[in-house]
Amino acid sequence: MTTPLKAPVEWSVLLADAVSTPGLISSAYTRFWNYSIGNQLLAQWQCRLRGIPPGPINTFLGWKDLGRNIRKGEKALILCMPIQVRAKEEEQDESTNEPESKEGRTFNRFLYRANWFTLAQTDGEPYVSQELPSWSEERALSTLGISRVPFQHTDGNVQGYAINKSVSISPIAFLPHRTLFHELGHVVLGHTEEAQQIDAPHTPRSLREVEADSVALICCESLGLPGSEYCRGYIQHWLKSEKIPERSAHKIFKAADQILRSGRAVTSSTQPTV
């Protein structure tokens, strides 16, 4: 059994690096698009740290199936992957004060494993690169269960808004795709659901805006669309001198990944590992 590894870097650190480094996200997405956003940046970060040319990654057996061998002495990259765990312990049932057995239940635990190698760490048959899947707004909205409704706000300075499971973009919005990703971010991050709850804790507005525009930044850069510099400025305006919390970094990566994957054409590519 493989020994679980500690995280090589905090997700909030990876996100801060991506937000402050132009082109980093697009570079990671181009090379590692069939992995999750978090793992894309994690792989890119390790390649930069170790001076390895970034490129397609695969496991030892995956490269072997493609007719390539790992060079002697090469060290694997660490990625985060879900492991299905079967619960064994008992927990107290508050309604009856009797122990409630969790036997048979399963859940995912995320562990770090050193199982991946880049193309530059291999020798063998010529590698045929996979094309990036196309992204469709219509497909994404349908998959996410979000509707796009006509813009009805009377303030001409408002670029867009999100209510419940719907988004609306001003017909005169500057960079409407960026606004769309921002508003989709609010919905997928759960901000619009929070707004409907009275007694539940709410995410502060400044953090909501940071989270939503971080999602927009990742989506714009991943798809090679303009607007990244405006996202960075917006994020810094709301973030001020604070750091993005670790919990928010997890939420941002997950939401951006959902939005990007929901709009992709169906392919037989490798499934994400986180």
**pLDDT of 1:** 44
Beta-strand relationship, 147-148 and 106-118: unpaired
**pLDDT of 92:** 45
List the pLDDT tens digit at each of the 274 positions of the chain: 445 677 788 999 999 999 889 999 999 999 999 999 999 999 999 999 999 999 999 999 999 999 999 999 999 999 998 877 776 654 444 545 555 555 567 777 788 999 999 999 999 999 988 888 899 999 999 999 999 999 998 887 899 999 999 999 999 999 999 999 999 999 999 999 998 876 667 889 999 999 999 999 999 999 999 999 999 999 999 998 889 999 999 999 999 999 999 999 876 554 544 4
Provide the b/e sequence for 59-73 (b: ≥16 CB within 10 Å): beeebeebebebeee
Question: Can you say how many angstroms the Cα of residue 3 is from the centroid of all Cα atoms in its chain?
Answer: 25
Amino acid at 106: T
Amino acid at 160: G
Cα atoms in the 13 Å half-sphere on the side-chain side of 151: 19
**pLDDT of 178:** 97
**pLDDT of 98:** 53
DSSP 8-state symbol, 112: E
Contacts of 210 (CB under 8 A, 6+ apart): 235, 238, 239, 244, 248
Contact between 264 and 69 (Cβ < 8 Å): no
Contact between 166 and 151 (Cβ < 8 Å): no
Q: How far apart are CA 200 and CA 198, in angstroms?
A: 6
**pLDDT of 90:** 45
